[in-house]
Amino acid sequence: MAAAQLDLYRYFKPGKDHLSSVWHVPDGYNREGSMGRLSTAPAPGTHPLYLCVVRGDHFLTGDVNCEGQQYVTRLGWIQDAPQSGVPSAPLYRCLGGGRQLFESNDPNCEGMTNAGGPLGYTLTG
């Protein structure tokens, strides 16, 4: 039986922060859209995806140590690579204006700078 899945949404707090999460987010954030789904349990070909924060700026990583920054929570498990017959989308870390980190399925980071990735592949089917 396949693990349950949770929608990974991207939120924006005007003038402050992008936040990608499967969980409830603090007041003041507006949902921008879904970036696919994460599994709620590990499976072969997946790795955990963590929510972290640095100077009030949230970002996602596969590193449980948050690349030396502050750990917030584990969001779920993301595919390591696209799998044959399984609809998926790459997830990239991007750097926007004011050095603000955000995630996107767009390899061109919606006209901003691709800051690494893909972080993995979210489920879309």
- How large is the average pLDDT for residues 87-113? 93
At a CB cut-off of 8 Å and minimum separation 6, what does 120 contact?
Answer: 46, 47, 49, 62, 78, 79, 80, 90, 91
In which band, very low, low, confident or very high, does the pLDDT at 80 lie, cut at 50, 70 and 90? Answer: very high
Q: Please, what is the average pLDDT of the chain?
A: 94
pTM greater than the 0.85 cutoff = yes
Q: Residue 91 belongs to what domain range? A: 5-123
Structure tokens at 1: 């039986």
Residue 10 reports pLDDT greater than 70? yes
Summarised one tens digit per residue, pLDDT across range 21-76 is 999 998 999 999 999 999 999 999 999 999 999 999 999 999 999 999 999 999 99
Domains identified in the chain, total number: 1
